[in-house]
Amino acid sequence: MTVLQPDLPLAGAGAVRLRWPLAATLALIPAGFVMIGLVIRYFGYAASVGDESIAGFPMGMCRWDCGWYIYIAEHGYHHFPTPGMNAAGNWAFFPLMPVFVGLVHMVLAMVPTMTLATGISILMAYVTSIIAWPLLGRDLKAYTIFSAYLLAGPWSIYFTTFMTEAAFILITTAALVALERRSYLSAGIAAGLLSATRIVGVFMSIAMAAQLLGDHIAARKPLRSFIPEILRRPDILLGLLLAPMGAFVYMAFLRLYVGDGLAFLHVQRAWARAYGNPLMFVWDALTDFPKTGWIPTFPQQLAAAVITGFVLTAILFVRRKWAAGTFSLISITVPLFAGMASTLRFTAAMAPLPILGSRLLARNWLITGIVVLGFFVADYYVARAWIDGALSLV
């Protein structure tokens, strides 16, 4: 078994070598960040509301789409647009996360939905840290940074409250681990779940094909033999077929339930989404300078997130991470056709990007410590901004 072997002096025994299992270290690091993150966000919550309490903390962190997910978990999908709100129904929100929380809530009915969902999200983020270990190069420094990012970092609010990001980053990481092992059937099953979490999950099938093509070219095989080889691999074919099945099942449900299999797309009109050129959206956001002061405007913050995402995606391609690069590129670009809304959240939850960022920052333990401490500070202020309704965080 792989172990860490620090020398620890024991009283009366001299210096001895203690065998400390690596598995225990990998379990304890994110567990520590779970507690630290909860404390930091609680203080942010307490500083932003006038009637703070531990019991009210989970619901106090419920903002934006969170309310929609609570409704789905407790009542299911609408037969009609939401009375008293706008022309929108909750069909835009894919089912895996809220339905899963709803099923667990049926068993643990005594636990409030938001408290239960918060615990489930934190558990998902915790598991994401652990299964990402091979993608982090089995580097303990990178693992520490990534764990802190998920559970006590600037965007940890997305992974520790009732949003889909915790499920999305967990299943994306599972799919990428399967692809690293060339287990295409497992990757297809994970991708199927991913496509039931957010619509961009269907693009994991394209990422799988990109990985297959990259491996084929790296083996110096002729392109004409690519498709014939794929057709001789039932595990690959089944994996590719399973990858979009979550979205297809949801579409079939919507067709039977409300009469429109594309209701998740058509309902976007209720939010007045304007479709256009992604480059123009990014440029307009980037040049939306503040009228006073030096703090970037909300559009500029979103543009910075998108540009950072594209830079990291380019590095993934340079490193020949075909599946991760392809999935990130498509999943960042496609939502941009509908404008800049939520692009920071989408980029922050794109698993390949924080995994790569963690590896790039993990130069030594000093830098790792500085990064983690910076995450703690940012977690507090972002939690306060989240509660106060900062538009860039939507």
The span from the CA of 112 to the CA of 138, in Å, is 38
Dihedral pair phi/psi, residue 291, rounded to 5°: -70, -35
| Token pair recorded at residue 334 | 């496609």
- The pLDDT value recorded for residue 276 is 85
| Report field, pTM of the whole predicted structure over 0.75 | yes
Average pLDDT over residues 55-82: 90
Q: For the chain, where are the alpha helices, taking DSSP H only?
A: 22-48, 57-60, 66-75, 96-107, 113-131, 140-152, 156-159, 165-180, 184-194, 204-218, 226-231, 234-242, 245-257, 263-266, 278-286, 298-318, 322-336, 343-348, 352-361, 365-388
Measured CA distances, 158 to 153, 220, 234 (Å): 10, 42, 37
- The pLDDT value recorded for residue 5 is 44
Average pLDDT over residues 319-326: 96
* CA angle, 194 then 199 then 205, to 5°: 55
| Tens of pLDDT, residues 122-153 | 999 999 999 999 999 999 999 999 999 999 99
Q: How confident is the model at residue 7 (pLDDT cuts 50, 70, 90)?
A: very low
| Token pair recorded at residue 106 | 């049926």
| Tens of pLDDT, residues 8-50 | 443 444 444 556 788 999 999 999 999 999 999 999 999 998 8
Average pLDDT over residues 349-371: 97
| Tens of pLDDT, residues 162-196 | 999 999 999 999 999 999 999 999 999 999 999 99
Cα–chain-centroid distance for residue 152?
Answer: 14
* CA angle, 232 then 236 then 239, to 5°: 145
Kindly tell me if the per-residue pLDDT of 113 is higher than 70: yes
Q: How confident is the model at residue 85 (pLDDT cuts 50, 70, 90)?
A: low
- The pLDDT value recorded for residue 52 is 83
The span from the CA of 292 to the CA of 120, in Å, is 42
The span from the CA of 320 to the CA of 296, in Å, is 34
Average pLDDT over residues 62-72: 93
The span from the CA of 139 to the CA of 333, in Å, is 30
- The pLDDT value recorded for residue 14 is 42
Q: Are 208 and 191 a contacting pair, CB within 8 Å?
A: yes
Best CA proximity match to 309, nearest among 282, 280, 275, 338: 282
Measured CA distances, 292 to 217, 282, 297 (Å): 53, 21, 10
* CA angle, 364 then 368 then 373, to 5°: 155
- The pLDDT value recorded for residue 6 is 45
